[in-house]
Amino acid sequence: MGRSAEDGLPRVLPSLGAPRFVGRAAELHRLTDALARPPATVLVEGEAGIGKSRLVQEALDEPDVAARRPLAAMCPPFREALTLSPVVDAARDAGPDVAELALTPLAGVLRPLFPEWGQHLPPAPEALSDAGAARHRLFRALAELLDAMGVGVLVLEDVHWADEATLDFLLFLASRRSRRMSLVLTYRPEDVAPESTLMRLTSRPPAGTGYVRIGLGALDVPQTAELMSSMLDGEHVSETFASFLQERTDGVPLAIEESVRLLRDRADLVRRDGEWVRRTLADIAVPPTIRDAVAERASRLTPDAQRVLRAASVLAEPVGPAVLATVSGLPDNVAGSAVDAAVRSGLLGEDRARRVSFRHALAARAVYDMTPAPDRRDLHRGAGRALRAMTPQPVARLAHHYREAGDTGQWRTYAERTADLALASGDHRTAVGLLHELLTGSDPPAASVVARWAQKMPVLAYAGLVARGDLIRALRGVLDGEALAPHDRAAVRTQLGRMLLQVAEYAAAAAELEKALPDLVGDPFQAAWAMNTLGSPPSTMMSAEEHRRWLDRAADAARLPMTADQRLALVGDRATSLLEMGDEVGWAVAAELPDTATTPEGMMQLARGGLNIGNSALRWGRYDEARALLTTGLARAEEHRYQRLQDMIRVTLVHLDWFTGAWDGLAERAAALAGVEEEPVVQLDALLITALLDGATGGGGADPGPVAVADGGLGTVEERLRQVLDAGLRRGIVDLPLEPAAALARIRLAEGSAAEALELTDGPADVVARKDIWLWATEFAPVRTGALLALERPDQARQFVADLAEGLSGRNLPAADAALETCRGILAEGEGRSVEAAAAFGRAVTAWRRLPRPYEALRAAERRAGCLLAAGDRDTALAELARAQAGFMALGARTDAARVHGARHAAGAPVREVWRGGRRGYGDQLSPRELEVVRLMLTGLTNPAIARALSRSPKTIAAQLNSAMRKYGVTSRTALAVSLTQAGITPSEGHATGTESPRSDL
């Protein structure tokens, strides 16, 4: 025991030992019981200092658990994280005999992470450009290493600090079907972000495994007394003292321990009547936090020992005593004794490898925070010097220390090396984060250095980061700044073009790539790739002929030396561009693609081909072929973990199912893909389908529909269509606005706003005419024809249909041909040629069914029935309407079914009322509010004018007019006006007749 004097009186100080394991017997039993039945996932959660690490260590010391070769790792609180560093460092420290491990060629992926094992690892495989595939391969290799080492229990502590790669690896391990390894994870729930991958592990037990969640709470008074007694050589502690300390420390074991040590250091503990007590509890001073206790204890050490504590807090990881002494900067003759004093204080501890570190992260943080900023920077600089002498160099930790030291040059050096290592390991996410920081940091270095960083950025890895815009601004700043060498300028501009393509800024991307071409003379593949991109129809407003010239130049460049995988990529892109223009030659080029490839990169290109050529088949109307190509591409993407391609193929399959009428479960699939924020094209295409589907099944443009309701906020049908349209126009994706513009135009035409409908199709019509790609008119051509006729412009309608027919002449484009027949029917109907119109609509029905595209076939059948009625063939018309109504109901298109029901009723067919769900209203009769609207409509007022007159929104007016049309079985305002007049409903008095032309719905 030590001695102290207070008020001149000598006092015996208690000797303090390490606290025993107290109050966790039940939790220890649950943990060891779970590990006895592998594989298990055990989650140990609790606040800082509650005893998570101690519980795990007690379990690992159990003989049965120790026999399963546990491997313990700890996540450091570093901002910079080396790829999977906690697990990699733990495996390295375990010191396996790598030469004796049964590793497959897959383990070659680990070479960048374990350079010192190079002679014993297989050769490194070819790099993968797809981030998901590269990461999955790395995870498989590391899991194979752990299995070969015989690791039966993987412990990862402080998972709340884990980097994304480590969290994803844990999720991978937990979901392996062949899993034998148990996982033990400790974390602080309050420090886990809601969006963290850890939440997926903690909220959903992995299938087929044991799952235990252990939450550690505070110690009670008896347990507090037991813990205190264990530190005081097992001697008794007064209950009053224990109760007081438990209350002041909230029963947190670490806080209790630190308080006891501090009271001992203060000489505040006395022994009375065979037990340890505080002389006067009334004036006991227990620090309010663990940090305060640690700070006071540290302040009682010698200045040299305090310097060692500060060095240990800066290092924030276990290191050898020599490293700690070096970082502290103390002279050799005092450094050793200072380290010993810091360890004896109990704030630092030694592990089994005799490495020194703080016993708890909270204590380390307390010392770090009270270290003056200049001293911290000096210590970080010293840590950098010490760690640079290690082999292999811990580059991520070096980047961390030099950042904190304020040494930007050294930070950039080691941050780049860390990114290089991450790229070599297949961890694109870590690399992207580091390169993003380098590229967007203040006070950039020489342009040539920035160009080097830019070339390393794996643009395809994470579109979300690129979409923030600061990367794009940084590269533009480099191009606008100091002069670059031609090859650097070409590299930066090409990379900028890729980034712009990634965020769907097609027009801007094409402009940058065209500028880059003169500097790409010495790089055949990059030059051919840029030319192929310029040959892609959606990228610019070039004509089809100009696109073909670029494609021909790219084909010439592709004959120059390049790899087989590069040539494969160029062939797939050329085929896609030709098919997007409706050029039959594209199918012959697509046939040049092989069935398989010998490299992962080649397989990715084949999966891309399945997506792009499958999407072209979709646009052509070759739906069976599209499904086969997309399904094969998806299988390849799933097999090789190409996540981005998986999402893009899935949304294209969703589009295909919309066209082909496979609507069961489609709403949920589309809504899920509409949430893929990191892929803007996927998100927009999915959002489009949700809108189209709700428009058919949920009540029209003013109603959000079932998809939006289920998702909780996608917006109304019109809002979603407008969002997709605006995004396509803003991003310069020339073909993206075509379908949403057509859908919006149909809504406007149904409302009677033919001028707005025509305006919506003006842009698409201009695109098609200027590019001379009439395949792209498939979706909007019918509604544009109807709008022209509704505005009494029959000559323009005839010319448009004639231009469409000429543009499609000699081509085999099934979907566009069906749309052409629909346009011919609309034109004949508008000109009063009912028999010819019925025949044209009949051909359209046949063409749509052949694809098959049932929704459009049923709409054409409904139009045909209307023409047959006008021609006097009532029986055939009613039979056609009955079939159309049944078809719409079977498809789920309730809105259309109700409209056809009304048409049959108006034609005198004996029909029953169709209930479409919700509150039963006025049946086939107009409601009072609908009657107000239609009477104003009869005066010639437009929808906005009616809305102003009745103080309602235009959307409400449109919905009420649509309801009236359904009840009267008509599809246009003109037909509704005729039916209302025949029913004796007169125009509202007090409103002048408008001048708007009669309108017809499509």
pLDDT, residue 294, reads: 81
Q: pLDDT category, 404, cuts 50, 70, 90?
A: very high
pLDDT at residue 940 tops 60: yes
Residue count of the chain, please give it: 1002
Supply the pLDDT for residue 275.
Answer: 61
Q: Lowest-pLDDT range, 75-79, 624-628, 934-938?
A: 75-79
Domain span at residue 947 reads 924-1002
Q: Which whole number is the average pLDDT over 211-239?
A: 88
Q: How many Å apart are CA 646 and CA 489, to the nearest integer?
A: 33
Question: Do 90 and 191 fall into the same domain?
Answer: yes
Query: Over pLDDT 70: what percentage of the chain?
Result: 87
Please tell me whether residues 187 and 320 are part of one structural domain: no
Closest CA to 610 of 583, 575, 582: 575
Give me 76's structure tokens: 């450091």
Q: Is the pLDDT of residue 711 over 50?
A: no
Instruction: Note whether residue 381 is domain-resident.
Output: no
Using CA atoms, how far apart are residues 1000 and 572, in angstroms rounded to an integer?
44
Which position has the higher pLDDT, 999 or 804? 804
pLDDT beyond 70 at 921: no
- Domain boundary (372, 391, 422) is at 372
pTM assigned to the model: 0.62
Shared domain check, 308 and 199: no
The confidence score (pLDDT) of residue 984 equals: 67
- pLDDT, one tens digit per residue, over 29-79 is 999 999 999 999 999 999 888 999 999 999 999 999 999 999 999 988 776
C-alpha triplet 174, 179, 182: angle, nearest 5° = 65
Q: Which of 202-206, 453-457, 610-614, 634-638 has the lowest mean pLDDT?
A: 202-206
How many Å apart are CA 787 and CA 837, to the nearest integer? 17
Mean of the pLDDT values across residues 648-655? 96
Residue of 993, 871, 999, 875 lying closest to 939 (CA atoms): 993
Question: 828 is written with which tokens?
Answer: 């004949």
On whether both 87 and 160 belong to a single domain, the answer is yes
CA distance 547 to 539: 10
Which of 211-215, 722-726, 782-786 ranks highest by mean pLDDT? 782-786
Flag whether pLDDT at 407 surpasses 90.
yes
Report if residue 542 sits inside a domain: no
d(CA 506, CA 498): 10
In a domain, 113, yes or no: no
Amino acid at 616: S
CB 78 within 8 A of CB 400: yes
Phi (first) and psi of residue 354, to 5 degrees: 65, 25
- CA 93 to CA 630: how far, in whole Å? 46
Kindly report, residue by residue over 275-331, the tens digit of the pLDDT. 655 555 444 455 556 777 788 888 889 999 999 999 999 998 899 999 999 999 999
DSSP 741-800: HHHHHHHHHHHT-HHHHHHHHHHHHHHHHHHT-GGGGTTTHHHHHHHHHHTT-HHHHHHH
Cα-based angle 917, 920, 923 (whole degrees, multiple of 5): 110
pLDDT in tens, 464-488: 555 567 788 888 888 887 678 888 8
List pLDDT tens digits, range 433-443. 888 889 888 88
Q: Are 162 and 75 contacting, i.e. CB atoms less than 8 angstroms apart?
A: yes
Domain of 192, CATH number, reads: 3.40.50.300
**pLDDT average, residue stretch 615-635:** 96
Query: Of the candidates 215, 236, 267, which is a domain's last residue?
Result: 215
Asked if residue 353 has pLDDT above 90, the reply is no
**What mean pLDDT, rounded, does the chain reach?**
85
Higher-confidence residue of 166 and 640: namely 166
Count of C-beta atoms within a 10 Å radius of residue 222? 14
Per DSSP, the three-state class of 250 is coil
- Let me know if residue 473 belongs to a domain: no
Helix (H, G, I), strand (E, B) or coil at 213: strand
Q: Give how far Cα 160 sits from Cα of 49, 219, 544, 986, Å.
A: 14, 23, 54, 72
Residue 958 or 996, more confident: 958
pLDDT at 913 over 60: no
Asked if the model's pLDDT at residue 761 lies above 80, the reply is yes
Confidence of residue 174 (pLDDT cuts 50, 70, 90): confident
Domain co-membership, 201 together with 249: no
Among the three residues 215, 232, 258, which one is the final residue of a domain in this structure? Answer: 215
Helix count and strand count (H, E) for the chain: 48, 12
Rounded average pLDDT over 573-593:
96
Q: How many CB atoms lie within 10 A of CB 274?
A: 7
Least confident of 23-32, 244-253, 764-773, 880-889: 244-253
Average pLDDT over residues 404-409: 94
Q: Lowest mean pLDDT: which of 100-104, 369-373, 564-568, 961-965?
A: 961-965
The SS3 assignment for 833 reads coil
Q: Is residue 47 part of a domain?
A: yes
Counted domains in the chain: 4
Same domain, 928 and 995: yes
Q: Does residue 162 lie within any of the structural domains?
A: yes
Q: Cβ of 265: how many Cβ atoms within 10 Å?
A: 21
Output the pLDDT for position 216. 92
How many angstroms separate the CA atoms of 648 and 611, rounded? Answer: 7
What pLDDT is attached to residue 268? 62
Q: How does residue 787 score in pLDDT terms, banded at 50, 70 and 90? A: very high
Do 187 and 79 lie in one domain? The reply is yes
User: Using CA atoms, how far apart are residues 715 and 712, in angstroms rounded to an integer?
Assistant: 9
Q: Which residues share a beta bridge with 41?
A: 183, 211
Task: Please say whether the beta carbons of 46 and 252 come within 8 A.
Answer: no
Percent of the chain's residues with pLDDT above 90 = 47
Contact 258, 297 (CB under 8 A): yes
More confident residue, 418 or 467: 418
Q: Assign 734 a pLDDT band (cuts: 50, 70, 90).
A: confident
What average pLDDT does the segment 618-634 reach? 96
Least confident of 35-44, 279-288, 590-599, 624-633: 279-288
Measured distance CA(33)–CA(230) in Å, rounded: 26
> 282 with 192, same domain?
no
37 assigned to some structural domain: yes
Chain position carrying tokens 């000598």: 10
For residue 315, give the nearest of 304, 328, 329, 306 by alpha carbon. 328
* Four-CA torsion 240, 241, 247, 248, nearest 10 degrees: 150
701 confidence band (pLDDT: 50, 70, 90): very low
The pLDDT value given to residue 281: 46
195 and 174 within one domain: yes
Q: Is the pLDDT of residue 81 over 70?
A: no
CATH of residue 965's domain is 1.10.10.10
Is residue 700 scored above 50 in pLDDT? no
Calpha distance 955→759 (Å, rounded): 19
Confidence check: pLDDT of 523 > 50: yes
Both 202 and 59 in one domain: the answer is: yes
CA atoms of 507 and 549, how far apart (whole Å): 18
The pLDDT tens digits for 104-153 are 999 999 999 998 998 899 998 877 766 777 888 899 999 999 999 999 99
Cβ proximity of 513 and 494 under 8 Å: yes
Q: What distance, in Å, lies between the first and last C-alpha atoms of the chain?
A: 98
Residue 866 confidence (pLDDT) above 60: yes
Question: Same domain, yes or no, for 34 and 84?
Answer: yes
Q: What is the pLDDT of residue 262?
A: 75
Nearest 10 degrees: Cα torsion 262, 265, 269, 274: 110
Q: Is residue 769 part of a domain?
A: no
As a whole number of angstroms, the distance between CA 378 and CA 816 comes to 72
Range list of β-strands (E), 906-998: none
Shared domain for 305 and 168, answered yes or no, is no
pLDDT recorded at residue 247:
84
Cα separation, 513 vs 535, whole angstroms: 11
Helical pair 428-440 and 447-456, crossing angle rounded to 10 deg:
160
Residue 582 CB burial class (10 angstroms; 0-12, 13-18, ≥19) = buried
